[in-house]
Amino acid sequence: MKIGLITLEKRAAPSPIMAVMVPVVSVFMALLVGAIFLKITGREPLPIYFEMFSRAFGTRYGLSETIVKSIPLMLAGLGVAVAFRMQLWNIGGEGQLFMGAFAATWVALSFPDQAAYLLLPLMFFAGCAGGAVWGLLPAIPRAYMGVNEIITTLMLNYVAILWVEYLVYGPWKDPHGYNFPLTAKFTAGAILPTMGDSRIHAGLLFGLTIAVVLWVVFNRTKWGYEVRVIGDSPGAARFAGMNIPRNILVVMAVSGAICGLAGMAEVSGLMHRLQPGFSPGYGYTAIIIAWLAKLNPLAIVLVAFLFGGLQVGGYIVQTTGVPATMVAMLQGSVLFFILGGDILLRYRLRWRRSPDSGAPGKGVGA
Amino acid sequence: MSYDFLVAVLATAVVAGTPILYAALGELICERSGILNLGVEGMMLVGAVTGFIAALSTGNPWAGVLAALIAGGAMASIHAVLTVSLKANQVVSGLALTLFGTGLSAYIGKAYIGMPLANPFRPFEIPVLSEIPFLGPILFRNDPLVYLTFLLVPLAWFLLFRTKAGLNMRAVGENPAAADSLGVNVFATRYMYIIIGGMLAGVGGAYLSLAYVPAWMENMVAGRGWIAVALVIFATWNPVNALLGAYIFGGIHALGFRLQTLDVNVSPYFLKMLPYLFTIAVLIFVTRKNNRSRIGAPKALGQAYDREER
């Protein structure tokens, strides 16, 4: 195939060098696009980037905040990656996160006098269950009727966010909260322990543990293999006797549960209450993270850490007048470059030669 | 329900359905050529913000429409390069477009939040037609962008089903290899309809910021882009059905809105959930009904075309 002066030759196997090069180069290209945007809008890109990165990764406080922000990104990224493995497009991470936070808050507010060793496990399971139910709702019509899960998972995000708004503006509003849309503050037993004097909470352990477990499940178990086969070639999977509808339900429940856990960790570890807008779109950023990490659970941890830093950097430069949404733009463009760059995994680029300079490599099409 | 209330709800339904209709028509044309673009929400947001800024700085809402056309088309061309030339995954590319558009629109719109627009699109009555009982007040007392859809829908239908260009478009969406062998340029066709689709999505967004609200607010599209994607399935890829569907969705919006003013004892948060829940319900219903015959869905939808893999 040819594009302009470049000839593309199909590779026999995806290039391992490109698998590392493409994401790295993509991040730099996205930063370049961001720099051009900053320049156009009359700002100096280099000092802004320097400020973002030196503060997010170079100071003790910044680094701990980066880790704090990476926790929900990591969990939600792992969650959506489970579904993406089977080519189920769970875009509902955000809603599952909200429902996890809702369910965990319900436990925290219902049993305020319980000790942490009872309350925290309960909230953990409630968070998982809330997310799992929200993942299952679209999974059932997808499994048995083939209803497009992209749209249904996405619609449920709006429903979940409105549900939480209804609660915090209405029945769950803290009577002593000066009419702010917040629930009452959690009691001590409902709060996840933190590391030292930082804000880094036990949610980090949830994320790291789940990443390792998922890596083992995906790479070392029969079920992990089955999930990938169903995703890559449902026909072959059906022929091999794999139960596709059941797997859709299980995968979406697991995916939703992990996203729900992200919500639980956020309210129990960081916010200590439920409030609207506690997630600046973690469930959507998670999609980019999962894709950037090529759905590899261990890579998701790393990418989530980088994106956490980006988020923190965004907040920091906001004080200098750069909108924090700058970061969302950067994240979107990273994904563009990754997608475009993926062709380099599958194809080798050659400058087209003139006919008399020797035959080009094999496999050149018309 | 009184007659006046019914007319008021239906009139609001037309207005509330119009932005969704523009976006759905764009997506429909794009999907007919075989490309799924899930970036509608992002293209609408960018159309809304650029349209607003252009209208505000020129004082002319039509300049806003022009800006939204260009911005929506530019956004869609990213998707075209990625999915047609570079054969990237269409689902993820569309998602990236939505995420990018959300960030981009918020970035460039920051300074314009809540600013009033002196010259929005205003409704005007079409003489004679607006006097028709029942239909007149619903259809013919609207703004120019609503009237434009009355022309656009039959035009799209005619293009799709009665012209050579429409035949080629559908051929490319159904069987690109066969279309290619008959001399249709698959790549150029797809590029063109992806970009036209983006332009229409841009106008859909601009309708919100230039007529419906009219102002710029962050994330003001609020899921309408996704509803438009669902609507295309509901419409079985037919523009006339898309018109009806858009008004039904608009009606759900309108009903929620009107019920609040009627002092109904339901929380507004639940009323706001209605369009999203309705979309899910409709999607389940339509998928069940269509599964037997797969009416309308272009066969090559979502697949990249590679000449060497024919």
Give per-residue pLDDT as tens, A46-94. 999 998 889 899 889 999 999 999 999 999 999 999 999 999 999 999 9
The phi, psi pair for A3, rounded to 5°, reads -125, 110
- The chain-wide mean pLDDT, for chain B, equals 91
Q: Give the model's pLDDT for residue B296.
A: 65
CB contact under 8 A, B96 and A340: no
Residues A6 and A351 sit within 8 Å (Cβ to Cβ):
yes
Minimum-distance CB partner of B267 among A155, A166, A328 = A166
Please tell me what DSSP assigns to residue A23. Answer: H
Q: Where are the domains of chain A?
A: 72-302
Distances (CA, A) of A259 to A250, A280, A299, B112, B144: 14, 14, 17, 34, 45
Q: Which of B95, B284, B307 has its CB closest to that of A1?
A: B307
Which of A1, A162, A332 is facing B96, going by the closest CB pair?
A: A332
| Contact yes or no for B93 and A336 at CB 8 A | yes
How far are the Cα atoms of A198, B266, B273 from residue B270, in angstroms, in the given order? 39, 7, 5
Closest residue, chain A, to B287 (C-alpha): A147
Q: Please count the CA atoms within 13 angstroms of the CA of A242 that sit on its side-chain side.
A: 21
Q: Measured between alpha carbons, how far is A311 from A76 in angstroms, rounded to an integer?
A: 15
How confident is the model at residue B295, as a pLDDT? 57
C-alpha–C-alpha distance, residues A250 and A135, integer Å:
10
> By the 8 A CB rule, do B218 and B106 touch?
yes
A160: three-class secondary structure by DSSP: helix
Measured between beta carbons, the chain B residues lying within 8 angstroms of A340 are: 81-82, 86, 88
Structure tokens at A88: 């189920």
Q: Which of residues 36-95 of B touch A (CB under 8 A)?
A: 38, 78, 81-82, 85-89, 91-93, 95
When scoring B220, B283, B286 by the number of chain A Cβ atoms within 10 A, the one with the most, hence best to mutate, is: B283
CB within 8 A of A258, min separation 6: which ones?
A75, A76, A78, A79, A82, A128, A131, A210
- Select from B78, B87, B279 the Cβ nearest to the Cβ of A155: B279
pLDDT of residue B177: 93
A296 closest CA partner among A84, A150, A72: A84
Considering the entire predicted model, what is its pTM?
0.89
Query: Cβ of A339 and B307 within 8 Å?
Result: no
Q: What are the pLDDT digits (tens) for B84-140? A: 999 898 988 998 999 899 999 999 998 999 899 989 999 999 998 888 888 888 899
pLDDT at B215: 95
The predicted structure's pLDDT at residue B247? 95
Sheet with A6-10: list strands edge to edge: A2-3, A6-10, A347-351
Q: What are phi and psi of B19, to 5 degrees?
A: -60, -40
Q: Which of A87, A62, A92 is nearest to A76 (CA)?
A: A92
Amino acid A22: pLDDT: 86
Confidence grade of residue A356 (pLDDT, cut at 50, 70, 90): very low
- Going by DSSP bridges, is the β-strand pair A6-10/A347-351 parallel, antiparallel, or unpaired? antiparallel
DSSP secondary structure code for residue A221 in this structure: S
Does the pLDDT value for residue A357 go beyond 80? Answer: no
State how far residue B187 is from chain A, nearest Cα, in angstroms.
11
Mean pLDDT of B147-174: 95
Whether residue A202 is predicted with pLDDT greater than 70 in this model: the reply is yes
For position A94, what pLDDT does the model report?
A: 95
Tell me if A68 sits within 8 A of A270, measured CB to CB: yes
Closest approach of A363 to chain B, Cα-based (Å) = 9
How far is Cα B99 from Cα B93, in angstroms, rounded to an integer?
Answer: 10
On whether the CB atoms of residues A232 and A87 are closer than 8 A, the answer is yes
- Among all chains, which residue has been given the structure tokens 């302009």? A4
pLDDT of residue A265: 97
Q: Is the Cβ of B165 closer than 8 Å to some Cβ of chain A?
A: no
Over residues A278-331, the pLDDT tens digits come to 998 899 899 989 988 989 999 999 999 999 999 899 888 888 778 878 888 888
Contact residues on chain B for A326, CB-CB shorter than 8 A: 103, 107
**Torsional sign, CA A39, A41, A44, A47:** negative
Residues B233-276: tens digit of each pLDDT:
888 899 999 999 999 989 988 887 777 777 777 888 998 898 89
Residue B309 confidence class, pLDDT cut points 50, 70, 90:
low
Q: What pLDDT is recorded for position A360?
A: 44
Residue B1 has pLDDT above 70, yes or no: no
